[in-house]
Amino acid sequence: MIVRRKMFISFYIIGLIVLLMEIIIGMFGNGFIALIYCIDWVKSRKLFSCDMILTCLAMSRILLQGIFTADLFIHIFAPGTFHLNQVQISLSFLWFFANTVGLWFTACLGIFYCVKITICNQPLFLRMKQTIFVMVPKLLLWSLLVSFVTSIPLIWGAASFIPFIIFLTTSILLISSLWRHTRNMQCNATSFWDPSTEAYVSAIKVLISCHILYIFYFVAVTVLSLPTCLTDRTWTPAITSMVLAAYTPGHSLILILINPKLKQALVRILQIIKCHLKRDFLNPIT
């Protein structure tokens, strides 16, 4: 019993360190994405549809990370406070809203990639391709409204499943379109790797990586919502919390590394930091 308790305390400390690292990376990653696109918006007075979705997605994840951080600190430093009915309801509502709106924004990203990149000759699809830039702000607004409405009755957890199905469908359409595109290029004996193929692959990388992270996230949420009689009261919350916290920083890092604009901005910032550190090292203050 004593050995088991020591193991749990050690695991709890390690888990807490991991959680704090995930929160810091998530805050910086999503803050970086939102800042870069907000700067572009201020400079050019316009924001492209994809950039608009990524900005809204980053902001929703900053909110989610903030709520998760508040929940974590309450559990550690004021465990009795969390059991107050009003605090618990408020945090539950805010977490559910931030989680749901983030998933709907992710679904909007999948819809945008699918409509913009997928090749299809259906009249309705062609109409959507022509009007996608007008549709994006409306989709984002509806995502906010739907997330708010579905967050009021907290017991309705199927709301997180709907955007996942939409995102899964758009990903399948993109992958099948890429497969047809590559087959046509091979049949026509043209270059296998062209700009359109690169656009497909970049979009699919984003979608597939988000799917993998979301599956783990969805499983963790499901396990965490199970009755305590069906799960372990000590190990399960610690493990699921680490999985939940890994979702937003993981996907933000993938978006930064895949998106050329974000990647170039990150490289420039790292170069500036490197130059400052090198200058301080060569010219120390005496």
Residue with tokens 């890994």: 246
Averaged pLDDT, 2-24: 74
**Strongest mean pLDDT among 15-29, 52-66, 100-114, 245-259:** 52-66
Residue 155's pLDDT is what? 46
Domain range for 20 is 2-282
The model's pLDDT over 247-286, given as tens digits with 9 standing for 90+, comes to 888 888 888 888 888 888 888 888 888 887 777 666 665 4
What would the pLDDT profile of 238-249 be if each residue is shown by its tens digit? 778 788 788 888
Q: Is the pLDDT of residue 121 over 80?
A: no
Backbone φ, ψ for residue 196 (5° rounding) = -65, -40
Percent of the chain with pLDDT strictly greater than 90: 2
Q: What is the dihedral of CA 230, 233, 235, 241, to 10 degrees?
A: 90
- Report the CATH number that the domain containing residue 54 is assigned in CATH: 1.20.1070.10
What's the number of domains the chain is made of? 1
123-132 b/e (C-beta count within 10 Å ≥ 16 → b): eeeeebbeeb
| Maximum distance among all Cα pairs of the chain, rounded to whole angstroms | 72
Instruction: Enter the pTM of the model.
Output: 0.77
Rounded-to-10 torsion of CA 157, 236, 62, 148:
10
pLDDT band at residue 32, thresholds of 50, 70 and 90?
A: very high
